[in-house]
């Protein structure tokens, strides 16, 4: 079962739904297991400091390393954060002009 199929099965509203279209408890359980597996996979693929706030020391070091020419990917690996997190901090510190997507 795909993730999109699991999501649609779980959020389906059953009011006014023909009985033959209402998922069985086994189908519902499979959908929940699919989503839980996906959530675990996403959680285990996050960098160690994902979601942690940046402290002043790390911000200072980020500025130094950026000025030395380190790439966002190198910085992400160094700080164990996502490249997106690094780019947002560089933007917030006004070290890059383009807001990350």
Q: Report if residue 13 sits inside a domain.
A: yes
Q: Summarize pLDDT for 78-89 with one digit per residue, the tens.
A: 999 999 999 999
Q: Summarize pLDDT for 7-64 with one digit per residue, the tens.
A: 666 666 666 677 777 777 888 788 888 888 887 777 777 888 888 999 999 999 999 9
The Cα–Cα gap between 13 and 18 comes to 11
Q: The whole model's pTM is what?
A: 0.57
Domain that holds residue 70: 56-92
Q: Give the number of other Cβ atoms within 10 Å of residue 19's Cβ.
A: 6
Q: Report if residue 21 sits inside a domain.
A: yes
Tally of domains in the chain: 2
Q: Report if residue 98 sits inside a domain.
A: no
Q: Report if residue 84 sits inside a domain.
A: yes
Torsion of CA 39, 41, 46, 48, to 10 degrees: 110
Confidence of residue 100 (pLDDT cuts 50, 70, 90): confident
Q: Report if residue 62 sits inside a domain.
A: yes
Q: Report if residue 60 sits inside a domain.
A: yes
């Amino acid at each position: 079962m795909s993730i999109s199929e699991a999501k649609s099965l779980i959020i389906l509203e059953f009011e006014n739904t023909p009985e033959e279209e209402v998922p069985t408890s086994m189908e519902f359980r499979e959908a929940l297991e699919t989503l839980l597996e996906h959530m675990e996979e996403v959680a285990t693929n996050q960098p160690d400091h994902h979601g942690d706030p940046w402290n002043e020391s790390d911000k200072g070091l980020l500025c130094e390393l950026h000025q030395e020419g380190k790439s966002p990917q190198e910085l992400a690996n160094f700080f164990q954060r996502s490249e997106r997190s690094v780019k947002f901090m560089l933007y917030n510190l006004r070290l890059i002009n383009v807001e990350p997507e």
